[in-house]
Structure 1
Amino acid sequence: MKKVLMVGGKNYRSIAQKSKQLNIQVIHKADYKKERRTHTYFEKHIKEVDCVVLFINACSHDNMWRIRELTKRYNKPIVYTRGTGTTNAFTIAIQRMKPKVG
């Protein structure tokens, strides 16, 4: 089972339904706040996930930069999505999690 960290957005029901259909475990952080403890939260979860989905219109700028830095450090794929549509976000995340051939 793949594991994805989703940051931003409010579509809890849609995220739960789509993740169940696709057999993906989701960690969802719907937070617009700038808090110091979010850095440790993100670091803990980015280490254990296969991909990060960032809803850029529903996330603080500070958190976006923290996540970008951590995904680079731990070599994890990140998906930026402008809308809050979960189907599109999951589709792109699944493509990014596939191993590259060649």
Structure 2
Amino acid sequence: MKTIAVIGGSQKQTLEKLARKQGCGIIFHSGKTGKKREKEFLPILRKADCVVVMAGALSHPSMWTVREVAEKLGKPIVYHQGFGATGALKKGVALID
């Protein structure tokens, strides 16, 4: 089963429900971090096949850290403008298909 990391927002349960319907897994992180951003995001991104960043729902420093870690790990990344779980998941599914 392919796994999508969704970073940002607050719709974890909705994303998990939608992912089950699509036959994929979700690893969710709200994007809220302390000073050790890379240490928080690294294990999540290692487990994921691709990354969706909810661009309007997390801080710029967190977004930049996610981008850097994804690039280091060679994970495809896409940015979703807005807060919609359905649109974010569609972008993630498109990356792994």
* TM-score, normalisation: structure 2: 0.89
Aligned-pair Cα RMSD in Å? 1.4
1:8-87 matched pairs, under 5 angstroms: 8-33=8-33, 35-87=34-86
Q: CA deviation at 1:31?
A: 3.5
Once the two structures are superposed, what CA deviation does each residue of 1:35-80 show, in whole Å capped at 9, x if it has no partner? 1233112111211210111101111111101011011111101110
Q: Distance in 1 between matches of 2:31 and 2:70?
A: 18
Which residue does the alignment assign to 2:90?
91
Gaps of 5+ in 2: none
Once the two structures are superposed, what CA deviation does each residue of 1:3-61 show, in whole Å capped at 9, x if it has no partner? 1111111123321210110122111111434x123311211121121011110111111
Q: Distance in 2 between matches of 1:79 and 1:53?
A: 5
Aligned length: 97
Once the two structures are superposed, what CA deviation does each residue of 1:71-90 show, in whole Å capped at 9, x if it has no partner? 11111011101111111111
Identical amino acids, percent of aligned pairs? 27
Runs of 4+ in structure 1 off by over 3 angstroms are none
- Contact preservation (8 Å) 1:4, 1:51: yes
Larger radius of gyration: 1
- Contact preservation (8 Å) 1:6, 1:52: yes
Q: Distance in 1 between matches of 2:16 and 2:92?
A: 15
Distance of aligned partners of 1:31 and 1:68 in 2 relative to their CA distance in 1, 3 Å threshold: closer
Gaps of 5+ in 1: none
Q: Distance in 1 between matches of 2:68 and 2:36?
A: 16
* TM-score, normalisation: structure 1: 0.85
The residue type paired with residue 28 of structure 2 is: H
